[in-house]
């Protein structure tokens, strides 16, 4: 059974920055990731461009150069691979967390026993840096389990000449609608509210509004989906029951943190907001020696924290652990 001072769960940009900070202090650590490196970014649309500029995505004092001010997904993946290789970070991919047990160790300090899909470890500290993008918000309706229903979008070529329903009103839904339309799909937007979301990027809003006005993208407002079948989708729109023919559904209804993981680590979670209780200075949670890093600290409010404003979390946590 291998012992590390710190076990970091999640190999996203912030998890990697925690590993770099630990390595700089000569503190032993291991990063485990249930998917591939920066798995959330890997699941972004193929042609996506970051909202942030490249320098605001940098970690470990390594420059991030890109062809334009806002880097592409592919440039981001290349950058974080390069960071991992440069620092020779101790990352184990495709290894998922399974359970944790708190034990007293020989020195009397708290010690954890962590079981994963590959191995069992002991450690003195745990950093949860799992983000939120890996856990989609479920529709909880009949038919959501069908293969044609997707919560992630990568590319639109396969949607050519297909009837596509997109559920959502924010950036991800609007991006899918525009990409699908441009690849020759018959596109219908289903929006729960009375308008497109206020957070839609300013350079995208005129595009989708024009496509809707032209009739190239159909839209139903105040729409609540009730059932999805193999060939149709049913919903209520302004108190009217509507069913339309359908080949693919993209439920871009948002994502949430893995609250179950945080609860397994002993972290107190607000049942309404999903907000974890933690020290805003040290990022230590109500579970002693368990820390949060990155966007996971925002609970169900996934629009508050990003890579650019949580890059210092690793330094804060490692500084606190070092002082302990």
State the DSSP string of 58-75. Answer: --TT-----SSSSPBHHH
Buried b (16+ CB within 10 A) or exposed e, 17-39: bbbbbbbeeebebbbbbbbebbb
Domain boundary among 218, 251, 284: 251
Is 193 in the same domain as 104?
no
161, part of any domain: yes
Looking at residue 133, its pLDDT comes to 86
For residue range 157-171, what is the model confidence (pLDDT) as tens digits?
999 999 999 999 999
For residue range 261-275, what is the model confidence (pLDDT) as tens digits?
999 999 999 989 999
Phi, psi of 120 (to 5 degrees): -120, 135
Q: Sign of the C-alpha dihedral, residues 247, 248, 253, 257?
A: positive
Domain boundary among 236, 251, 266: 251
Query: DSSP letters along 128-151, please?
Result: E---STTSBPP--STTTTSTTEES
Q: Kindly state the percentage of the chain with pLDDT values over 90.
A: 85
143, part of any domain: no
Band of the pLDDT at 46, cuts 50, 70, 90? confident
Is 131 in the same domain as 259?
yes
Q: What is the mean pLDDT of the chain?
A: 94
Residue range of the domain that includes 170: 149-251
Separation of alpha carbons 110 and 58, rounded Å: 33
Cα 163 to its chain centre, rounded Å, is 27
- Mean pLDDT to the nearest integer, 56-72: 94
Band of the pLDDT at 110, cuts 50, 70, 90? low
Is 226 in the same domain as 312?
no
The pLDDT of residue 103 is above 90: no
Looking at residue 150, its pLDDT comes to 96
23, part of any domain: yes
142, part of any domain: no
The pLDDT of residue 105 is above 70: no
Separation of alpha carbons 238 and 220, rounded Å: 9
Residue 266, Ramachandran bin (φ over 0: left; ψ between -120 and 50: alpha; else beta): left
Separation of alpha carbons 278 and 296, rounded Å: 11
Is 124 in the same domain as 162?
no
DSSP 8-state code for residue 157 = G
Separation of alpha carbons 144 and 159, rounded Å: 19
Looking at residue 199, its pLDDT comes to 86
For residue range 190-229, what is the model confidence (pLDDT) as tens digits?
999 999 999 898 889 999 999 999 999 999 999 999 999 9
Band of the pLDDT at 134, cuts 50, 70, 90? confident
Is 297 in the same domain as 231?
no
Is 307 in the same domain as 265?
yes
154, part of any domain: yes
**Total structural domains within the chain:** 2
Q: Is 110 exposed, middle or buried (CB count within 10 Å of its CB: 0-12, 13-18, 19+)? A: middle
161: tokens are: 């000449």
Band of the pLDDT at 106, cuts 50, 70, 90? low
Separation of alpha carbons 23 and 268, rounded Å: 29
Any residues with CB less than 8 A from the CB of 312 and at least 6 apart, and which? none
Kindly report the CATH number assigned to the domain that includes residue 283: 3.50.50.60
Is 62 in the same domain as 105?
yes
The pLDDT of residue 108 is above 60: no
In contact, 162 and 187? CB cutoff 8 Å? no
Is 309 in the same domain as 162?
no
Contacts 24+ apart (CB under 8 A), 94-98: 94/33, 94/34, 94/35, 94/36, 95/32, 95/33, 95/34, 95/119, 96/32, 96/34, 97/9, 97/32, 97/34, 97/261, 97/264
144, part of any domain: no
Is 217 in the same domain as 273?
no
7, part of any domain: yes
Is 52 in the same domain as 68?
yes
Is 130 in the same domain as 259?
yes
Is 259 in the same domain as 229?
no
Domain boundary among 217, 232, 251: 251
141, part of any domain: no
């Amino acid at each position: 059974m291998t012992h590390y001072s710190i076990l970091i769960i999640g190999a996203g940009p912030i998890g990697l920055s925690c590993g770099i900070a630990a390595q700089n202090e000569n503190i032993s650590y291991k990063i485990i990731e249930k998917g591939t490196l920066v798995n959330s970014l890997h699941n972004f649309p193929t042609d996506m461009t970051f909202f942030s500029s490249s320098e605001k995505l940098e970690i470990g004092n390594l420059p991030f150069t890109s062809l334009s001010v806002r880097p592409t997904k592919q440039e981001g993946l290349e950058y974080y691979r390069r960071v991992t290789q440069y620092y020779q970070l101790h990352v184990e991919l495709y290894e998922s967390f399974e359970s944790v047990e708190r034990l007293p160790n020989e020195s009397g300090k708290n010690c954890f026993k962590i079981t994963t899909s590959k191995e069992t470890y002991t450690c003195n500290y745990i950093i949860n840096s799992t983000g939120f993008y890996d856990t989609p918000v479920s529709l909880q309706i009949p038919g959501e389990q069908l293969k044609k229903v997707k919560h992630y979008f990568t590319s639109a070529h396969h949607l050519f000449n297909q009837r596509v329903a997109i559920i959502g009103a924010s950036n991800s839904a609007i991006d899918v609608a525009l990409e699908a339309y441009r690849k020759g799909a018959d596109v219908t937007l289903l929006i729960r509210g009375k308008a497109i979301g206020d957070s839609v990027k300013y350079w995208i809003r005129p595009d989708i509004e024009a496509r809707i006005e032209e009739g190239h993208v159909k839209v139903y407002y105040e729409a609540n989906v009730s059932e999805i079948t193999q060939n149709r989708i049913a919903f209520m729109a302004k108190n009217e029951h509507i069913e339309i023919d359908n080949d693919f559904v993209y439920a871009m209804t948002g994502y949430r943190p893995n609250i179950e993981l945080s609860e397994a680590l002993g972290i107190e979670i607000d049942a309404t907001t999903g907000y974890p209780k933690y020290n805003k200075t040290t990022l230590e949670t109500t579970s002693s020696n368990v820390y949060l890093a990155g966007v996971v600290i925002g609970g169900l409010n996934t629009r508050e924290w990003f890579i650019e404003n949580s890059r210092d979390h690793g330094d804060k946590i490692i500084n606190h652990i070092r002082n302990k």
